[in-house]
Amino acid sequence: MDARETALRQAYGHAVRWLASLSDRGVPARASVEEIVRALSAELPDGPSAPVDVVDLLATACEPGLTAFPSGRFYGFVVGGTEPAALAADWLVSAWDQNCVMRAASPAYAAVEEVAGAWLLNFLGLPGNSAVGFTTGATMANFTCLAAGRDAVLRRTGWNVARDGLTGGPGVRVLAGEDRHMAVDLALRYLGLGRPELVRADGQGRIDPEALRHALAAGGPAPTIVVLQAGDIHSGAFDPFAAAIRAAREADAWVHIDGAFGLWAAASPAYAHLTAGCADADSWATDAHKTLNVPYDCGLAVVRDPLAVRAAMGLRGDYLIQDEQGDPIDKVPELSRRGRAFTVWAALRALGRSGVADLVERLCRHASAFATGIAEIDGATVLNEVVFTQVCAEFGSDERTERVLTRLLDDGTAWISGSTWRGRRVMRISVSNWSTTDDDVARTLDAIRRASAGA
Ligand SMILES: Cc1ncc(COP(=O)(O)O)c(C=O)c1O
């Protein structure tokens, strides 16, 4: 065996032990940053080390400081886990080390991106000839789509952003619901568009289409983008797309939908109604590393008009070997990047149509079980309408909710983050891991009951 193979075998052993530990290990990390720095022995050695020893040191020093994100009992943020075929494919991605910029450079990558992209459009019920770009995550997917939108609405006024930039051009209005995700604001900031104008949302975070119509009319004609949301980070709620998109069309606005985790509802016959009307937008951002459960990092930027995203993101270079029909590079902000479509293809191929639907429905079923179980706890109230994968609950007062959260993390059975929603501290549960079982939910509910009993 050469040094590379020995190192890979060692990494395989560590990876398999880590995965095997997930069902029973505590979910929070056991060691602090400082402890891991010490364990890594921060001195850079003067000379080379054997790759196998480096892998060993990394794995053993880091193990206590790893949070069990891929555990079936991790419910913080919205993270997803790692579906087995996608995880294994991701190892191949590293070994293959393809630079996924051009069709001519890696025909295998371009082919897989094409096939996975077509499947995705089909699963998500989006227009079949849209461009699908593979980004680092939903933040950059939002950025990509909004860049295409910004350039397109300005182009309609005769202004060419690619050539002339933004300075001196017409102002672009961007309207979004009060409860949009902050990643949208970040993407707008990167794009030089500043903060969005906020439109009233209802108690669950759904944009009010009438308020949107009024806000659009009040501003007068201007190049305009409307940002809608599929899946509110607290309530899981979906905007009323048909009515909101009708209002946006009356103002000739570009309509973008941030559906980082929620767009996947479209893949399930039982939940597709939540995304009704979605397909009439101009662009959609979602993550494969959330609901689809591929490893980090993988977002998806879908743009109805492939030429619009190409105008915003495409480039030409004398030393590149470019294809007239467009290359992977024409749909994303970066040049060199890893082969993200390989893992998406593997997850979709492994799950099949029914598997993706089952996955979505299982996540939702677990969220409902959490809501039912928590509602039975003395003093606890579930605050949101549980329509998808998100549950927000409080335990009588902000102080008690905070104590329950702290005790739950100390217990270690599960990882659930707190948040502030509608002015109250809440326990915020997001079910996004393919491997979560009924038993994980039952064990977590037991832990929540234990945490609230003494709080
Ligand atoms: C609705 C929504 N949009 C955007 C994002 C940002 O996604 P990412 O972290 O993949 O950039 C998230 C993350 O949770 C989200 O829930």
Question: What does the pLDDT read at residue 219?
Answer: 85
Q: Is the entire prediction scored with pTM above 0.85? A: yes
Q: What is the mean pLDDT of residues 101-121?
A: 97
Percent of the chain with pLDDT over 90: 96
Compute the distance between CA of residue 254 and CA of residue 264 in angstroms, rounded to an integer: 22
Give one word for 194, left, alpha or beta, with left for phi > 0 and alpha for psi -120 to 50. left
Tell me the C-alpha distance between 335 and 352, whole Å: 31
CATH classification at residue 369: 3.90.1150.170
Are 124 and 169 part of one and the same domain? yes
Residues 159 and 283 in one domain: yes
Q: Is the CB of 139 under 6 A from ligand 1?
A: yes
Residue 419: beta bridge partners? Answer: 426
**Which of these, 368, 372, 381, lies nearest to 436 by C-alpha position?**
368
What pLDDT sits at residue 303?
Answer: 98
pLDDT the model gives residue 1:
72
131 occurs within a structural domain: yes
Cβ(260) – ligand 1 distance below 6 Å: yes
Domain closes at, from 347, 374, 393: 347
pLDDT at residue 92 in the model: 98
Kindly report the average pLDDT of the chain as a whole number: 97
d(CA 288, ligand 1 centre) in Å: 11
Mind listing the pLDDT tens digit for each residue in 343-390? 999 999 999 999 999 999 999 999 999 999 999 999 999 999 999 999
pLDDT score recorded for residue 61:
97
CA distance 162 to 148: 11
From the CA of 140, give the closest atom in ligand 1: 11
Answer whether residue 361 is part of any domain: yes
Last residue of a domain, one of 319, 347, 375: 347
Q: What's the pLDDT at 95?
A: 97
* Chain segment 3-32, per-residue pLDDT in tens: 999 999 999 999 999 999 999 999 999 999
Q: Give me the mean pLDDT over the 78-93 stretch.
A: 97
* Bond from prior residue into 297 cis (ω within 30 degrees of 0): yes
For the chain, state the CA radius of gyration: 23
Say if 201 falls within a structural domain: yes
Q: Measure the CA–CA gap between 176 and 196, rounded to whole angstroms.
A: 6
Given a contact cutoff of 8 angstroms between Cβ atoms, the answer to whether 442 and 366 are in contact is: no
73 pLDDT above the threshold of 80 = yes
- Cβ(79) – ligand 1 distance below 6 Å: no
Q: What's the confidence (pLDDT) of residue 123?
A: 92
Residue 73 Cβ inside 6 Å of ligand 1? The answer reads no
pLDDT for 36: 97
| CB-based contact 180:232 (threshold 8 Å) | no
Shared domain for 420 and 318, answered yes or no, is no
Q: Who wins on pLDDT, 221 or 386?
A: 386
pLDDT value, residue 331: 97
What CATH code is carried by the domain that includes residue 102? 3.40.640.10
Please name which of 307, 409, 346 lies closest in space to residue 87, comparing C-alpha atoms. 346
Whether 331 and 362 share a structural domain? no
Indicate if 343 and 364 belong to the same structural domain.
Answer: no
Same domain, 64 and 93: no
Whether 287 has a pLDDT exceeding 80, the answer reads yes
Please check whether residues 306 and 383 belong to one and the same domain. no
Q: Strand 381-382 to strand 390-394: parallel, antiparallel, or no bridges (unpaired)? A: antiparallel
In a domain, 144, yes or no: yes
Q: Are residues 31 and 116 in the same domain?
A: no
279 and 185 share one domain? yes
Domain membership of residue 44 as a residue range: 3-68
In a domain, 76, yes or no: no
Q: What is the pLDDT of residue 220?
A: 78
Q: Is residue 77 situated within a structural domain?
A: no
What percent helix, strand, coil does the chain show, rounded to 5?
Answer: 45, 15, 40
Question: 147 CB under 6 A from ligand 1?
Answer: no
Could you tell me which of 241, 225, 240, 236 has the C-alpha nearest to residue 262?
Answer: 236
In a domain, 16, yes or no: yes
What's the number of domains the chain is made of?
3
In a domain, 244, yes or no: yes
